[in-house]
Structures are given as structure tokens and as C-alpha cells.
Amino acid sequence: MEVADLEVRFGGVVALAGVSFSLISGECCGLIGANGSGKSTLLAALSRLHHGAERGDIRLAGESCVGWSPDRVARWGVARTFQTVRLVADLDVRDNVMAGVMPGSATGNHADRRRGPFAVLRGRASDASARVDEALQTVGVTAQRKRRPTELPYGLQRRVEIARAIVSRPRVLLLDEPTAGMTGRERAELGELFGRLAGSGMAVLVVEHDVRFVTSTCDQAFALDGGRVVARGTPTEVIASPEVRQAYLGTGGAGGAPGEVRAPGAGGAPGDVSGTSSVHGTGDAGGTGPSRGARA
Amino acid sequence: MGHDPVLLASLGSFFQTNASTVQTMLVDALLAFSVQICLRAGVFSLGSVAFWSLGGYTAGIMAKHGQPTVLAFAVVIAGAVVLGAVMSVALARLHGLYLAMATVALDLVVVVLITNATSITGGAEGLFAIPVRLGTGWTVGVVAVAAGVLALTERGRAGRVVRVMRNDSDVAAALGIRVRRMERAVFVGSAVLGALSGACYALLFSTIQPSQGGFSAIVTALTIVVLGGMETWVGGLVGAVVVVGLPLWATPISTWTGVIYGGAIIVVAMVAPRGLVGLVHDGVRQVVTLGRGRGRNRNDSQDVGGPASGDVTAMGIPAPGVPQGAP
Ligand SMILES: Nc1ncnc2c1ncn2[C@@H]1O[C@H](COP(=O)(O)OP(=O)(O)OP(=O)(O)O)[C@@H](O)[C@H]1O
Ligand SMILES: [Mg+2]
């Protein structure tokens, strides 16, 4: 998945001001940024679920998906979770995950179609069921599969949402603050899970406030501030970059991050940051981006 | 099942003396189904009421011209599919309250058109002397088929898809569900059910008036759906029996029918937002859970002790240090 010069605005608010990056299969990419920096908006744009005005391009394996419907993007293999858990309250946990099974993807390969319509149906049904159980197992909510989501603690609901997202084995997995409100041990578990998912060939994008989590889990990272990419590279580089430190410190250190920001990359050379947009700095966060001349 | 001759005989005589009541219930149940399938999928359309009038007049006029019943039904269904598909595309951009308003307007416009096309429709007086082509048996058959189709959409993958769509259409799309296409299909299905209800009415009762469609049909359909519940076709059927039956069986208090309706709707909306069927369903669930209650508590605590145990119960709380089970 490649994103080129993506701009999203809601009325006068520029939520994303020319964001470019790419996600690579097999890699877990971290996305950090202060509140309101445009992280969720970026995920909405990648899943084609936002309702703002937009410019720029998003390509899936080389093909532009800007004109696609959100369900088409999902069927291509872009799955996501939401910042606030969005499960269906009147379905139990297992059925919620089952809802993530896409008709076309359950068998995984088209060879099964040759065995006739009924074989496909049977095959799909049992295969789908097995996948759901596997997904529940993977995120560790097998014991709660018969419960209603609202009966579960928030952290487990998040896991259910992750199961629903991975059950159809997406090619791109977008996670919006999946570890919010979790304990250190659970973060570690999920971090390890995301690593495994990436290892299985997915391109994973994780929005995360905890920089320690990003350094331990992600292969790559980038930071947003005021809708711009202010740093990119390895997690250590990103965290060491002055823009990121400035953004986190400047906003009062959301989530107790400042202390952690300094630790991993202390003394790192700022010049190493290969972000193209870092020239804008953070001074014009939320502004209209005067340096972008070619606006229609 | 019950082969009790006394019961069968009394059922038989009941149907004879109350044939038109039962037929009205069936026709109204079909209309309720047509509204249910929309609401259940989160499509706030009342457009099927327009198709009720169109279907009723089409079937009535064809029967009056001596066309066979089968042909009349075929035309009604095909017409509803085509017109429903066109309308669903035209209304595709509307959602929620706006869609509800637009489809109510459509219902009223159809009534006006029918009223003014006097030469074909008999104007405000309506159509009379339509040959009676249906009996209770056939109508039961139509309702049974419709209920069967609805039942299929209530379970399995279809049932999940419908629930996800109603719950959150963005999530539905994010899960690869073709939301737009599903909404159009639901609209067309609703149009067909509405048109079938109207056609059955015209061919059962030999008459149809413009005033029976439009606003009064909207109110009837919504009353049935709210009282019975929109979750399953059973709700539509139960609602129709109650709404049609109540004023007839309660003749002594019939001047108060309107008040009783209004009161019943308010009470149901307050105590049983999922209708009578939802109320019964919840009641059964409650009893079952209570029954298993004590025996299950032990298992439950083991359940939570899954892979992520320990911290799990405290996970919703941001501060990890909070002792478990503190409150
Ligand atoms: N639907 C919308 N309409 C108007 N403005 C919006 C909308 N969605 C987002 N914004 C604005 O876009 C900016 C970016 O918001 P976004 O939710 O993407 O931030 P975020 O990085 O996810 O923040 P957080 O860490 O709080 O989740 C904010 O200024 C927000 O007010
Ligand atoms: Mg966000």
C-alpha cells in the first residue's frame, strides 16, 4: 500500500496535509502523533471511510483505490479496528468475529470452486468456522466466545475486534490504538501478536501512543503532527527526532510519553531522519500549510 | 402436533365466523413484513406502503378485466421489482430520517395520483366489484412463503450481515459487506412484499380505496411492527393479530380503540422496545439464565482465566495498579 501526498480536509480544518508513506508486507509500521494530529483520519482514508474532501492518491499493489467503496477496499484485503471499539452488541463474541468472514475469502483459494457449488458451500462453512475459532484463539478470547461484547471488559472487546479484523487474513491490517487502557503485560502480548501477524505476510499499521511499545514491536515508524509527517524511519530514529520530542513535550506529553521519548534514542543524530515533510517543522501545526503552493 | 378434533372443529368455526378478520391479519402481516425487513437492516424506508397501493390497484384492475390471478400476481411482483429497483437507486443517497420522510412523501404522492386517475382507478371512491380470487388458504400460503424468506434472512450469515448493517454501516463496509447493494436489495424486497399485500387485499375483499393506502397504512404498519417487534417475522404476525384483532374482540370498548392503541404503543415502546416478541424472548432468556445461574458461576470464573487471565478484569481501567474486584 502506497500513499502519495494525501490531503484530507473537513470544511476549513486540514486533518491531513500531504501525507506520503508506504506499507510493506511483512512489516509492522508504527504511527505516533499527539491528539488531533490526524492518525485516525489517516486510517479512515486508508479504509475509505471518511467523509471529508480529499486529494492525493492511495495505491493497493499499484492500483489506485481512491474511487473504491469502503467494502471493496475491505474485500481487497484492508482490515481495520477502530479507536473506540465498534462491535455489534446483539451478536455474541463468536458471531461478531464470524461477521468478519468475507464470502469470497473463506476458502482462500479459488481451486475449491471446482468441486461444485455445494462442496464450496460446505467447505466454506466449515472452513469459516475453523478460521473463527483460530482467530479467537489467536487473540485469546476463546473462553468468552459465547458472551455478548458488552459483558466483557474493554480490553477483551478490543481483542475481539482484532479477531474480527484478522479472521479473513487481510493483506493490510490497520489498528487504531489497539492497546489503549491495557496493562504492560497485555501490551507485550499484543505486541508479540502484531509481530507474528506481520511475520505471516501482512502489512500492519499500528497507531500507538506508547513509544516503548513502538520501539519493541515495529520495524518502521512515522510520526504525524498537524496532519504532516514530521519524522520517519526506524522507531528509534523517529523517537529521537527533535520534531517528535517537541510535539510530545509541547502538548504536555500525552500518556506520560516524554520520559520514554528521551530514553531509547538519546543523543541520536537528528539529521538521520529521512522524513520528506520534516522541513515544515511543527510550527504551523493545524495551519493551512502555506508552503504548499500548488493548491487548486 | 394437535389432532384434537374438538380443537380443529372450533378452529374451523372460528375461521368461518372470522374469515375477514383473519384475512385482514394476513394482509397486514405481509405489510408489516415489508416494513420490518427495511427497519431490521437499518433502512428507514416506508416506501412499501406506496407499493401496497400500486399492487392493490394493479391486481384489482387486472382482475376486473378478466385477467387470470397468476398473471396479475406475476405483473405485480415484476412491477414491484422493476419500480423498486429504480426507486432504490433514486433514493440511494438518503438515509435515516431523510429516507423516512422521502418515502412517506412517496406514499402520499401515490395516493394523490391514484385518486386523480379517476378513469382507471375510480378516483376517491375506489375500485369496486373486483372479482374475489383468493381465499384464506391462498393468503396463508403467500404469508408462509414470505415468512420463510424472512426467516432465512434472520439467521446464518444473512442474519449477521443484517445486524451489522443496522448496527453500524461503516463497520459493515469495513467488513467487506456490499452495503449499498444490500440496501437496494432490501428496498426491492420490501417493495415486493408491500405490493403482494395490496394485491392480496384487492383480490380478497373485492374493493380498494386510495385512503386505505398512504397515511393510514403507514400508521397500521408501524403500529404492528412496534407492538409485535421488528426482530423476526413472528413479531409481524403477532403484531398484526393484536392490532387487527383487538378492536374487533373488544367491541364494547370500541369507541376507546384509538386511546387503547395509543396507550399500548407508548407502554410497549417504554417497557419492551423490541415488541411483544422481544419481551417474550427476553423473558425466556432470563428464565434460562436464572435456571443455570448458580451452577454457572463457578465455570464463569474459570472461563475468564484464559490465556490473558489475571489482568483481564481490570483491563478496562487505564490505571493498571487498581486491585481487581475493587468495587
Ligand atoms: N469528521 C470530522 N469533521 C471535522 N473535523 C474532523 C473530523 N474528523 C477529524 N477531524 C479533525 O481532524 C483532526 C485530526 O483528527 P484525528 O481524529 O485524525 O486525530 P488523531 O490523531 O486520531 O487524534 P487522537 O489521538 O485524539 O485519536 C482534528 O483536528 C479533528 O478535529
Ligand atoms: Mg485517533
- pLDDT of amino acid A109: 39
Average pLDDT value over all residues in chain A: 77
B16 pLDDT above the threshold of 50: yes
Query: How many residues make up chain A in this entry?
Result: 296
Residue B14 lies in a domain: no
Residue B39 lies in a domain: yes
User: Does the distance separating the beta carbons of B164 and A47 come in below 8 Å?
Assistant: no
- What's the CATH code of the domain at B223? 1.10.3470
- pLDDT of amino acid B317: 30
- Structural domain boundaries, residue B96: 19-309
- pLDDT of amino acid A249: 57
Grouping H, G, I as helix, E, B as strand and the rest as coil, residue A58 is strand
Cα atoms in the 13 Å half-sphere on the side-chain side of B180: 11
User: Does the distance separating the beta carbons of B311 and A186 come in below 8 Å?
Assistant: yes
Give the closest residue to A42 by CA, choosing from A217, A227, A173. Answer: A227
A224 pLDDT above the threshold of 50: yes
**CA-proximal residue: ligand 1, atom 10 (nearest):** A15
Task: For residues A222-248, give the mean pLDDT.
Answer: 83
CA of B129 to the centre of ligand 2 (A): 66
When mean pLDDT is compared across A256-270, B16-30, B34-48, the lowest value belongs to A256-270
A268 pLDDT above the threshold of 70: no
Find out whether A171 and A74 touch, Cβ atoms under 8 Å: no
Residue B321 lies in a domain: no
B278 pLDDT above the threshold of 90: no
Task: Indicate the pLDDT class of residue B253, thresholds 50, 70 and 90.
Answer: low
Point out the residue among A49, A82, A88 whose CB comes nearest to the CB of B167: A88
Contact list, B312 vs chain A (CB under 8 Å): 153, 155-156
What are chain A's domains? 1-77+172-296 (3.40.50.300), 86-169 (3.40.50.300)
Q: What is the pLDDT of residues B80-105, one digit of tens each?
A: 999 999 999 999 889 889 999 999 99
> CA-to-CA distance for B278 and A48, rounded, in angstroms?
36
- From A75, which residue of chain B is nearest by alpha-carbon distance? B176
When mean pLDDT is compared across A171-175, B122-126, B138-142, the lowest value belongs to B122-126
Contact list, B163 vs chain A (CB under 8 Å): 88, 90-91, 99
Task: Indicate the pLDDT class of residue A211, thresholds 50, 70 and 90.
Answer: confident
Give the percent of chain A with pLDDT over 70.
Answer: 75
Residue B13 lies in a domain: no
A202 pLDDT above the threshold of 80: yes
Helix, strand, coil percentages (3-state) for chain A, rounded to 5, are: 40, 20, 40
Residue B324 lies in a domain: no
- pLDDT of amino acid A123: 54
CA of B210 to the centre of ligand 2 (A): 53
When mean pLDDT is compared across A268-277, B168-177, B262-271, the lowest value belongs to A268-277
**Choice from A7, A14, A32, A40 to test ligand 1 binding pocket (greatest atom count within 8 A of CB):** A40
- pLDDT of amino acid A8: 85
What is B16-27 written as a DSSP string?
HHTHHHHHHHHH
B289 pLDDT above the threshold of 90: no
> Please, which residues have CB within 8 angstroms of residue A135's CB and are 6 or more apart in sequence?
A97, A100, A163, A164, A166, A167
The answer, yes or no, to whether any atom of ligand 1 lies below 6 A from the CB of A251, is no
User: Does the distance separating the beta carbons of A80 and B174 come in below 8 Å?
Assistant: yes
Task: For residues B160-168, give the mean pLDDT.
Answer: 92
Count structural domains, chain B: 1
Which of A88, A138, A175 is best to mutate for the B interface (most B CBs within 10 A)? A88
Grouping H, G, I as helix, E, B as strand and the rest as coil, residue B277 is helix
- From A85, which residue of chain B is nearest by alpha-carbon distance? B171
A278 pLDDT above the threshold of 50: no
Average pLDDT value over all residues in chain B: 83
Find out whether A214 and A29 touch, Cβ atoms under 8 Å: no
The answer, yes or no, to whether any atom of ligand 1 lies below 6 A from the CB of A33, is yes
CA of A234 to the centre of ligand 2 (A): 22
Q: What is the pLDDT of residues B67-80, one digit of tens each?
A: 999 999 999 999 99
Find out whether A268 and A262 touch, Cβ atoms under 8 Å: no
- Burial code (b: 16+ CB inside 10 Å, e: under 16) for B25-35 equals bbbbbbbbbbb
- pLDDT of amino acid B293: 55
B14 pLDDT above the threshold of 60: yes
Task: Indicate the pLDDT class of residue A251, thresholds 50, 70 and 90.
Answer: very low
What is B69-98 written as a DSSP string?
HHHHHHHHHHHHHHHHHHHHHHTTT--HHH
Q: What is the pLDDT of residues A91-115, one digit of tens each?
A: 999 999 999 998 765 444 333 444 4
> Please, which residues have CB within 8 angstroms of residue B292's CB and are 6 or more apart in sequence?
none
Give the percent of chain B with pLDDT over 90.
Answer: 55
Residue B250 lies in a domain: yes
The predicted complex's ipTM stands at 0.77
When mean pLDDT is compared across A144-158, A266-280, B102-116, the lowest value belongs to A266-280
Residue B252 lies in a domain: yes
Of B15 and B220, the one with more pLDDT: B220
Crossing angle of helices B275-304 and B233-249, rounded to 10°: 140
Query: How many residues make up chain B in this entry?
Result: 327
In the structure grid, which three cell numbers stand for residue A232, read together?
Answer: 520517519
> CA-to-CA distance for A72 and A100, rounded, in angstroms?
14
Give A 249-278 residues with CB within 8 A of chain B: none
Residue B10 lies in a domain: no
- pLDDT of amino acid A240: 82
The answer, yes or no, to whether any atom of ligand 1 lies below 6 A from the CB of A83, is yes
